[in-house]
Structure 1
């Protein structure tokens, strides 16, 4: 009689340890970026003209709208790339955007947002999720609601891992408008960094590298937890609480 081989048991605690370590290390590069450009995140937005600060949220919504369409359409033409290549392309975009100061940085914003979203979609596919599904595209945008690499995050943004809106035909637009205010601040810091006199191109390349690395890691956290919840049959809210506890222990270590 042929015996059916049972799937190996999932070590939930070990996987949560790995994800917690990834989450904790994801923002580290942002600190180095800030040191390199000689600024502090809380002061960066003050460098932007008042007119630009007022338009940040609407500009972010436009960038996300553009990114959702462009990133999704590009999947049939351009395959997912290795992380190092995504970082290299992002750095090139950031350097070009920063070279001309604020005007070119603003023009570069939707292009970089598209690249970031495409990177997040690629991670979703890597974890076995179908980006054609609206729920997965919803999750890809939801990753943006995590603190950006230039923010000082104490772990309070773990709520993004399990947050949900009622899925409907307008679900993606709903999440875009929910995420936009938070992302506007994050992208505003990036724009301000690129507007630094003389160092605009260098800051643009550095910040784009930080953003690409950060959201790549955060996508692995998000979809890694989603996959773990499914395979281990554990409620996402339970995993979220256990992950938060592990991160607190890592912070004290």
Structure 2
């Protein structure tokens, strides 16, 4: 690892990258983006849904996270593609097609749609991770891709710390679970994705992802949204996580070069 120090400050181009990443990671959650698309505020809570619908959504979120974990651990390291750029548009178009079905049905297809959309997002995230120098044969990098689902800046809840929120707070709160999950996989392989360390990590990520999903469902449930609107919403959905992934893995790249503590200190001082 190159921890080269350049006087007391990072190079200007690095500061620009950190500012851009902070703008994405600390502002404009998916609800803000959907409000721009639809033209009115999105307010959503899974608790406001009828019990049957709420249970179906939670089941879809749980299934999506379990499928994403399986894909992350079993397949991301096998892809020979070196650059993430060529397939991002393809993933976005595919997500739009899936979202069109959800919009046409008023969100009733969430149980079938969400796992597919989640895997498409994960594939895009992995492409971006590779383009930022991540080694996706590494379990830690694979789980860092999965972690992107927990990083929506509009989600005001921290994971385990009620006194601090924000990008680095979420990462810090999840660090132990990611270490435990990584160590389990390295020791035992990926045959048992229902093992407690992996379930705990997936549950933690799913809790935060569920907040974003509820906002997506609220937008798709608008009676006039239709298939075209559903396609646009899903395109916004995947685009949102592509942006988060670019910021997240850009910061991880800078951490590998300049050190975690130094990058975090500079990030915290940026306005």
Give the conservation status (yes or no) of the 8 Å contact 1:142–1:179.
yes
Give the conservation status (yes or no) of the 8 Å contact 1:145–1:183.
yes
Deviations 1:154-179 (A, max 9, x none): x7234234541233215543321111
Matches within 5 A, 1:60-79: 60-70=61-71, 72-73=74-75, 76=78
Q: Distance in 2 between matches of 1:136 and 1:82?
A: 19
Give the secondary-structure state (helix, strand or coil) at the position aligned to 1:42.
coil
Give the conservation status (yes or no) of the 8 Å contact 1:101–1:196.
yes
Give the secondary-structure state (helix, strand or coil) at the position aligned to 2:244.
helix
Give the secondary-structure state (helix, strand or coil) at the position aligned to 1:103.
coil
Matches within 5 A, 1:54-203: 54-70=55-71, 72-73=74-75, 76=78, 81-147=86-152, 156-162=166-172, 163-165=174-176, 166=179, 167-169=182-184, 171-203=197-229
Q: Distance in 2 between matches of 1:61 and 1:159?
A: 23
TM-score when normalising by structure 1: 0.78
Q: Distance in 2 between matches of 1:32 and 1:227?
A: 27
| 2:35 maps to 1:24 | no
Q: Distance in 1 between matches of 2:15 and 2:50?
A: 43
- 1:223 maps to which of 230, 245, 249: 249
Q: Distance in 2 between matches of 1:208 and 1:23?
A: 24
Q: Distance in 1 between matches of 2:93 and 2:107?
A: 22
Per the alignment, do residues 140 and 172 of structure 1 end up closer, same or farther by CA in structure 2, a change over 3 Å counting? farther
Deviations 1:87-121 (A, max 9, x none): 22212211122212222233100000001111111
Give the gaps of 5 or more residues in structure 2: 158-164, 185-194
TM-score when normalising by structure 2: 0.73
Name 1:242's counterpart in structure 2: 266
